[in-house]
């Protein structure tokens, strides 16, 4: 048997993953500063959440390739609450944003075509692109009192094979929202080169600091994109329900023939799989209006942890560790002493019972960066941060 080149991955566990598994097998404690699964982080869900599954409606299978109309209307309502108008006919439901990406890559790219993605960013893109034989090209973000697109560097990466640019808004793990000025520049570049824009807004409902410019936190669907625009989002973050597997592609309302064709083709792609289960589609109109109850808890957790992090950082005798500005999402990037490769520093922390993401996991430089989740339960978070700060001070003061 021969395998496809697109699945030619190194599937060997990393040394870090092996060390974590060994620690867990030995039942040694782990303060998990990577926890990002809300169902495992002590979030309380509304008691009546599962009621829609008791209805006989879910026994009726009458699929609509784009998703049941009332489910798409519920998504449209979600945007209406943000003063964004989106026609339910411009929405296609998928089982997750991963599937949404794979539909969009199939819609836009031939094998070997390229998609630009800002880095640091979400590591899963590499696999999603490989699986569709698409080549991801990194467009480095710059950090200068906050993260920004480097438009000139991004444009320099465009080739005859480039088909689209992905943005994550706010981005994971940098936590920055793309400003209106950056999006204007990006639209102009994409218009010049005939590219589509894919914007991942799964963290849109989680702005962080009040310092954040509110105009920058709006959905891209509200930015009058002059280019084909596809927003992806879903309930794994909006409702903290990753296991329910509902997400969507919302294509801009632009009444252009190209967007009409895009919708027709997306419908065929979706019709070939009909992958979203009826029960969750029936439940969606009941669930989305309940999001405040869940988002308030996640927002409070993330805000409290960020405050605890800041006060721990402020109490260092020597400020070996600092954090980068974050405007949204569930993560914070830490600048740590660059005396060891991050993977080694993370392994050392694990020996002391703290599990963090080395920055290189998100394509940050290989030394000097760590990423922590702000969703970890508060006590565990503070204890983990304390160990991290003590360890970093030790490493910095006594480099091997
Ligand atoms: C930027 C980004 N997009 C999408 C997802 C996952 O979304 P889904 O569960 O809908 O596939 C994540 C998960 O962490 C993410 O960080």
Which CATH number covers residue 243? 3.40.640.10
Q: How far is the CA of 178 from the centre of ligand 1 (A)?
A: 17
Are 212 and 251 contained in the same domain? yes
Residue 57: inside a domain, yes or no?
no
Among 254, 289, 324, the domain-final residue is 289
Residues of the chain with pLDDT under 70: 210-212, 400
Ligand 1 atom nearest 329 alpha carbon = 16
Backbone φ and ψ for 348, nearest 5 degrees, come out as -65, -40
Residue 50: inside a domain, yes or no?
no
- Residue 122 near ligand 1, beta carbon < 6 Å: yes
- Residue 376 near ligand 1, beta carbon < 6 Å: no
Mutate to test the pocket of ligand 1, among 34, 37, 141, 202 (most ligand atoms within 8 A of CB): 202
Mutate to test the pocket of ligand 1, among 129, 172, 176, 373 (most ligand atoms within 8 A of CB): 172
| Residue 354 CB-density burial (10 A; 0-12 exposed, 13-18 middle, 19+ buried) | buried
Inter-axis angle of helices 69-80 and 278-287, nearest 10: 30
Mutate to test the pocket of ligand 1, among 97, 239, 280 (most ligand atoms within 8 A of CB): 97
Residue 179 and residue 217: Cα distance in Å, rounded?
8
Is 0.85 surpassed by the pTM of this model?
A: yes
In sign, the C-alpha dihedral spanning 206, 208, 214, 215 is: negative
Residue 55: inside a domain, yes or no?
no
Are 86 and 194 contained in the same domain? yes
Q: Which residues touch 189 (CB under 8 Å, ≥6 apart)?
A: 151, 154, 155, 158, 165, 195
Residue 358: inside a domain, yes or no?
yes
Are 149 and 281 contained in the same domain? yes
- Residue 168 near ligand 1, beta carbon < 6 Å: yes
Q: How far is the CA of 241 from the centre of ligand 1 (A)?
A: 11
Are 187 and 266 contained in the same domain? yes
Among 289, 322, 356, the domain-final residue is 289
Question: Which residue, 325, 97, 293, 288, is CA-closest to 207?
Answer: 325
Are 71 and 143 contained in the same domain? yes
Q: How far is the CA of 45 from the centre of ligand 1 (A)?
A: 20
Are 181 and 299 contained in the same domain? no
pLDDT at 388: 98
Residue 54: inside a domain, yes or no?
no
Strand order in the sheet with 369-373: 322-323, 331-335, 369-373, 357-358
Q: State the residue range of the domain holding 211.
A: 62-289
For 41-54, what is each residue's pLDDT tens digit?
Answer: 999 999 999 999 99
Residue 22: inside a domain, yes or no?
yes
pLDDT at 210: 61
DSSP per position, 126-194: HHHHHHTT-EEEEEEEEESSSEEE-HHHHHHT--TTEEEEEEESS-TTT-PPPPHHHHHHHHHHHHHHT
Q: How wide is the angle at C-alpha 299 spanned by C-alphas 97 and 82, nearest 5°?
A: 60
Are 281 and 223 contained in the same domain? yes
DSSP per position, 211-274: TS-GGGGS-GGGS--SS-EEEEEEHHHHSS-GGG--EEEEE-----HHHHHHHHHHHHHHHHH-
Residue 262 and residue 249: Cα distance in Å, rounded?
11
Are 269 and 284 contained in the same domain? yes
Domain CATH code at residue 342: 3.90.1150.10
Please tell me what DSSP assigns to residue 207: B
Residue 384 and residue 382: Cα distance in Å, rounded?
5
Please tell me what DSSP assigns to residue 92: E
Q: How many domains does the chain have?
A: 2
Question: Which residue, 116, 126, 177, is CA-closest to 151?
Answer: 116
Are 330 and 247 contained in the same domain? no
Are 193 and 76 contained in the same domain? yes
Ligand 1 atom nearest 242 alpha carbon = 9
Residue 51: inside a domain, yes or no?
no
Mutate to test the pocket of ligand 1, among 118, 128, 237, 375 (most ligand atoms within 8 A of CB): 237
Are 172 and 127 contained in the same domain? yes
Are 210 and 303 contained in the same domain? no
Among 289, 320, 341, the domain-final residue is 289
């Amino acid at each position: 048997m021969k395998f496809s080149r697109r699945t030619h991955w190194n599937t060997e566990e990393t040394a870090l993953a092996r060390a974590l598994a060994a620690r867990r097998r030995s039942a040694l404690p782990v303060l998990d500063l990577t926890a990002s699964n809300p169902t495992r982080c002590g979030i309380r869900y509304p008691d009546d959440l599962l009621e829609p599954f008791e209805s006989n409606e879910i026994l009726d299978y009458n699929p609509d390739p784009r998703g049941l109309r009332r489910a798409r209307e519920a998504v449209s309502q979600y945007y209406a609450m943000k003063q964004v108008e989106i026609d339910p006919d411009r929405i296609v439901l998928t089982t997750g944003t991963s599937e949404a990406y794979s539909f969009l890559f199939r819609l836009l790219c031939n094998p070997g075509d390229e998609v630009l993605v800002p880095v640091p960013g979400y590591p899963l893109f590499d696999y999603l692109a490989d699986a569709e034989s698409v080549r991801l090209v990194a467009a480095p973000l710059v950090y200068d009192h906050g993260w920004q697109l480097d438009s000139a560097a991004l444009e320099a990466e465009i080739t005859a094979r480039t088909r689209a640019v992905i943005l994550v808004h706010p981005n994971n793990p940098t936590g920055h929202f793309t400003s209106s000025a950056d999006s204007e520049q990006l639209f102009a570049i994409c218009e010049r080169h005939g590219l589509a824009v894919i914007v991942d807004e799964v963290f849109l409902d989680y702005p962080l600091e009040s310092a954040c410019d509110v105009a920058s936190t709006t959905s891209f669907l509200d930015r009058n994109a002059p280019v084909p625009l596809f927003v992806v989002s879903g309930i794994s973050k909006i409702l903290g329900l990753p296991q329910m597997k509902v997400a969507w592609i919302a294509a801009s309302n632009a009444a252009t023939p190209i967007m009409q064709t895009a919708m027709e083709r997306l419908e065929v792609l979706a019709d070939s799989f009909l992958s979203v289960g009826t029960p969750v589609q029936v439940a969606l109109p009941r669930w989305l209006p309940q999001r405040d109850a869940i988002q308030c808890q996640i927002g409070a957790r993330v805000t409290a942890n960020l405050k605890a992090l800041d006060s721990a950082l402020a109490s260092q005798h020597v400020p070996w560790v600092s954090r980068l500005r974050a405007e949204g999402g569930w993560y914070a990037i830490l600048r740590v002493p660059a005396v060891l490769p991050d993977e080694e520093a993370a392994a050392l922390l694990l020996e002391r019972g703290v599990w963090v993401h080395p920055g290189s996991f998100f394509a940050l430089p290989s030394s000097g960066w760590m990423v922590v989740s702000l969703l970890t339960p508060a006590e565990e978070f503070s204890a983990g941060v304390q160990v991290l700060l003590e360890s970093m001070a030790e490493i910095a003061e006594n480099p091997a």
